[in-house]
Each structure stands twice: as C-alpha cells, then as structure tokens.
Structure 1
Amino acid sequence: MPRFYFDLRDGDKLAVDEEGLELPDIGAVQAEAAISLADMARDAVHSTPLVRNGHRMAIEVRDDAGPVMQVRFSFEVETRKH
C-alpha cells in the first residue's frame, strides 16, 4: 500500500509529516486530508485570535514521488455594528 505524507500549513507555518500513512487509494487520501483540515480549522477557532484579514490553512499531501494534492481552507470574521 502506498505511503502518503500530510504536511500541515497554518498561515506561514509548515509542519512536515515525517511518518505518513499507508492508504489504499486517492479517495482515502482526500478523505483523510479533508478530515484533518476540518479538525485544524475547529481547533484554530477555539485557540487563536482571529485576524481581520482572515486565516488560511492547508494540508499538502505528498508521496515518495512528490506532491499529490493540496486541500485548503480559509475563513475570516467580519464584525458589524448593529
């Protein structure tokens, strides 16, 4: 089974995955990346102050041959007076 590495990008920070996961196909890779990114987004909302110009994060997936896919998420909070 092929091994895929899920590098985490949060703004300008990059955490490189040294271990990777063995997954059967690209569909399983996409599902794993999407679930991981959703977890990152949930954690960011609860633990970091949101900046006015938004927050961007991504999972950059690679295998031994190189990049496979990137799954991105961005959000921003706009406050308005009532």
Structure 2
Amino acid sequence: MSTSTWIRRSHRWVSIAFTLTVIANFVAMSQGRGAPPPWITYAPLLPLALLLLSGLYLFALPYFSRHRILRSPQCSVGDQEAPLA
C-alpha cells in the first residue's frame, strides 16, 4: 500500500473519530451539570490536528504529482503546459 493510500485511509478513520468526539462533547454539554470535564472538552483537538496535517498533504498531493509528471524525462516538449501570460 502506498503512502498516499495509507494517509487517505487514515484520514477517513480520523474524521470518524473527530466526529464522535464532537458529538460526545455536545452530549456532555447538554447534560446541564455544569462544565464538562476538560478531557471531553479538549478531546477533539488531537483528531483535528491530525486531520489538518493529513488534509494539507492530500490537498497538495495532486500539485506535486503534476509537477513530477511535467519534470519527468519521458515527457516530450509538446506534453508540457503552455506558460500563463
């Protein structure tokens, strides 16, 4: 399994974990027993940070792969995109 496939798959599972921690946070706040414990309040932050990192990687992946394709020696001169003026 390639790195991008592994990151894409883990990004999906981390998004599920993030959603569950946010739901748990709302349920704890709706109980009406004062402020929820800090571990429930701050629980979504770790999955959110992982989602940020993996999402930025997945966002930039097509741009880096296109750059690699354009720079590869197998491409002819006509395969490259015209410069934007």
- TM above 0.5, yes or no, is no
Structure (1 or 2) with the greater strand fraction = 1
Normalising by structure 2, report the TM-score: 0.33
Structure (1 or 2) with the greater helix fraction = 2
